[in-house]
Amino acid sequence: MSSMTTEPEMSDTEASFTPWPAELAERYRREGLWAGRTFDDVLRDTVAARPEHTAVVDAHRQWTYRDLDGKVDALAAGLADLGVTPGQRVMIQLPNRAEYIQTVFALFRLGALPVFCLPAHRSAELTALAKSSAAVALVTVDEHEKFDHASLALDVAGAVEHDMQVIVLSDSAGGIPDGAVDFGSLRGAPREFARAEPSSVAFLQLSGGSTGVPKLIPRTHDDYLYSVVRSNEICEVTPDTVYLAALPAAHNFPMSSPGILGAVVAGGTVALTLSPAPSVAFAMIEKARVTMTGLVPPLARLWTETAEQGTDFDVSSLVTVLVGGARCPDELAARVEPALGARLQQVFGMAEGLVCYTRFDDPMGIVTTTQGRPMSPFDEVRVVDDHGDDVPAGAEGNLITQGPYTIRGYYRNAGANARSFTADGWYRTGDVVRFDDAGNIIVCGRAVDHINRGGEKVSAEEVEEQLLAHPAVRDAVVVGVPDPYLGNRTCAFVLAADPAAPPRTGTIRKFVRERGLAAWKVPDVVTVLDEFPETGVGKTSRKDLRTLLTANAENA
Ligand code: OOB
């Protein structure tokens, strides 16, 4: 496979990529969905077509496509000089700034695979991802939101057995710690790299995750580019589009629905904001004349409320606001358009593939109450019961799907593949949905116990494991309970190892944070109980625990 000596051995059951069945792949090619282009081809085409058009704007920089192309060339060469070779994985943990775009496209040009980490990831997630991807480098920033990312990255590099370089982007001269490579020094003489195969894996995206740490999702140039091109058609992305990455740029939603890549494919402009707070993001909308953005529901609420109260910023350039990642309450959906003066588009998607949009010619009632329909006529969706049989039309059930941009398996994870895919390769989304008469999807909830906290996914199992590591905790269960702002909030129930000396709830939350978990996974509420309620068969009843919380809240 690779010349790297530290690369873990790969067995057949731990395949890095599960191909589509031959006849489907053939159909997707014949129909022109898989167009045989790479992301580097796309950038080169846009550079050739619109060299002087603004490609990227952030708080401090503004680059044309020609500028971006030059920076991508230099960085790709610099990374190659550092020893990064095609096919190797490189983790990226960068905030929303121009160099994020440069780094992603430099890796594409070089043929190395970005692994898209989020700025909120901490040692638990990054170490697991470094191991599972066998990444040869981690690109990060010295500091973001008062957190020392460079030290975190060096710790992660020290915790993995293989060699991993830490590359740090810093605006200050003293920002590069010993042992790290200065991002700014990675400027090599431009050279030609072998073109990647369009059918090969372009990058590893991360799953929202329902069990353990995030799973790695291998996406090919062919399949992902199709999803971007199709998103552009539906969302009407043109060379005049200015897309604002307000959510973390590495997430699938701002990346490709239609997102950053949609803007680059269309020859439009990508604007990035370090913070999605209205006071910062609205300033960027005004400055860059942003036309389109994507928000999770809690942010959509914050922006809507801010606009309703009146803002001094001129946000009149906004044409389209996409809302997705978690269920957008109907009441909020109805307020977005009047408040922000931009049309609402709901999006229900997943990093594994399937993306659904409401359409611009849908009646308002559909746009505000449904999550739209699959974007491709080649998407196949079924709603099934727990035995895998189709439910009657219009009934609620489990959504399963296959199609031209939905993966057939995770990266080197046979266990997860067995759980998340049917025997014939359909992806089990874990979502409980129903279809209306017109074929629109309404998301009703989750079958699998991951908690959707305002678009950020929390695996109950992952947090429970961390809680169990505390010596004063005998058992732990994490559940989600409805929250008016976040959709769901996380509540941890724990049993004390010594009932006479129960742990303090503040101590437990601090413990989880210090174990190196992303902050959004720290339980919002911790409750110590004497025993857990049980179901008829003696399992801990998550349902009763949820009820307990609701009852407590009502009595409070
Ligand atoms: C997006 O991707 P992920 O991978 O972080 O999370 C996927 C899960 C879905 O399976 C579903 O449970 C939930 O997030 N979800 C929604 C939703 N959009 C996503 N639940 C209800 N309503 C919605 N509109 O979150 C993602 C990827 C691409 C585009 C948009 C979102």
Does the C-beta of 139 come closer than 6 Å to ligand 1? no
Does the C-beta of 452 come closer than 6 Å to ligand 1? yes
Domain boundary among 143, 164, 197: 197
Quick check: is 424 in a domain? no
- Give phi and psi for 272, each to the nearest 5: -130, 140
* Length reported for the chain: 556
Q: Is 417 exposed, middle or buried (0-12, 13-18, 19+ CB in 10 A)?
A: buried
Q: At what angle do helices 65-82 and 39-49 cross, to 10 degrees?
A: 140
Q: Do the beta carbons of residue 37 and residue 225 sit within 8 Å?
A: yes
Segments forming the whole domain that contains residue 134: 39-56+64-197
Does the C-beta of 224 come closer than 6 Å to ligand 1? no
Does the C-beta of 523 come closer than 6 Å to ligand 1? no
Q: Do the beta carbons of residue 366 and residue 437 sit within 8 Å?
A: no
Which of 350, 375, 376, 450 has the most ligand 1 atoms within 8 A of CB, as the residue to mutate?
A: 350
Domain boundary among 177, 197, 217: 197
If one counts every other C-beta atom within 10 angstroms of the C-beta of residue 377, the result is 11
Does the C-beta of 355 come closer than 6 Å to ligand 1? yes
Q: Please give, one letter per residue, the 3-state secondary structure of 62-122.
A: EEEHHHHHHHHHHHHHHHHHHCCCCCCEEEEECCCCHHHHHHHHHHHHHCCEEEECCCCCC
* Distance (Å, whole) CA 408 – CA 428: 10
Token pair for residue 354?
């399937």
Please give the pLDDT value at position 150: 98
Q: Measured in angstroms, how far is the CA atom of residue 352 from the centroid of ligand 1?
A: 10
Domain boundary among 197, 218, 246: 197
Quick check: is 138 in a domain? yes
Predicted TM-score (pTM) of this structure: 0.92
Q: How many domains does the chain have?
A: 2
Does the C-beta of 417 come closer than 6 Å to ligand 1? no
Q: Measured in angstroms, how far is the CA atom of residue 159 from the centroid of ligand 1?
A: 32
Does the C-beta of 208 come closer than 6 Å to ligand 1? yes
Q: Report helix, strand or coil for 516.
A: coil
Alpha-helical regions (H) of 163-310? 221-235, 252-256, 259-266, 278-288, 297-309
Q: Measured in angstroms, how far is the CA atom of residue 468 from the centroid of ligand 1?
A: 29
Does the C-beta of 252 come closer than 6 Å to ligand 1? yes
Does the C-beta of 327 come closer than 6 Å to ligand 1? yes
* Distance (Å, whole) CA 302 – CA 254: 18
- Give phi and psi for 229, each to the nearest 5: -65, -40
Q: Measured in angstroms, how far is the CA atom of residue 536 from the centroid of ligand 1?
A: 33
If one counts every other C-beta atom within 10 angstroms of the C-beta of residue 414, the result is 13
Q: What is the CATH number of the domain that holds 471?
A: 3.30.300.30
Q: Report helix, strand or coil for 10.
A: coil
* Distance (Å, whole) CA 218 – CA 99: 23
Please give the pLDDT value at position 555: 57
Closest ligand 1 atom, CA of 322?
Answer: 30
Please give the pLDDT value at position 5: 38
Quick check: is 108 in a domain? yes
Average pLDDT, the chain: 93
Quick check: is 231 in a domain? no
Does the C-beta of 258 come closer than 6 Å to ligand 1? no
Q: Is 111 exposed, middle or buried (0-12, 13-18, 19+ CB in 10 A)?
A: buried
Closest ligand 1 atom, CA of 352?
Answer: 4
Quick check: is 488 in a domain? yes
Q: Are strands 62-64 and 450-453 parallel, antiparallel or unpaired?
A: unpaired
Does the C-beta of 428 come closer than 6 Å to ligand 1? no
Alpha-helical regions (H) of 206-249? 221-235
Q: Measured in angstroms, how far is the CA atom of residue 78 from the centroid of ligand 1?
A: 36
Quick check: is 493 in a domain? yes
Q: Do the beta carbons of residue 228 and residue 254 sit within 8 Å?
A: no
* Distance (Å, whole) CA 517 – CA 425: 32
Quick check: is 148 in a domain? yes
* Distance (Å, whole) CA 152 – CA 167: 12
Closest ligand 1 atom, CA of 205?
Answer: 4
Q: Nearest-CA neighbor of 448 among 426, 433, 464, 432?
A: 432
Quick check: is 256 in a domain? no
Q: Measured in angstroms, how far is the CA atom of residue 323 from the centroid of ligand 1?
A: 10
Please give the pLDDT value at position 552: 73
Q: What is the CATH number of the domain that holds 164?
A: 3.40.50.980
Strand runs (DSSP E) across 325-438, as ranges?
A: 343-350, 353-357, 373-374, 380-384, 397-402, 427-435
Token pair for residue 154?
């060096």
> Which is it for the CA torsion 227, 233, 235, 238, positive or negative?
positive
Q: Measured in angstroms, how far is the CA atom of residue 542 from the centroid of ligand 1?
A: 23
If one counts every other C-beta atom within 10 angstroms of the C-beta of residue 310, the result is 6
- Segments of the chain scoring below 50 in pLDDT: 1-10, 210
Closest ligand 1 atom, CA of 324?
Answer: 24
Closest ligand 1 atom, CA of 371?
Answer: 24
Q: Measured in angstroms, how far is the CA atom of residue 147 from the centroid of ligand 1?
A: 27
Does the C-beta of 276 come closer than 6 Å to ligand 1? no
Please give the pLDDT value at position 556: 53
DSSP string, 364-390: HHHHHH---EES-TT-EEEEE-TTSPB
Q: Nearest-CA neighbor of 245 among 265, 221, 275, 217?
A: 275
Q: Do the beta carbons of residue 17 and residue 411 sit within 8 Å?
A: yes
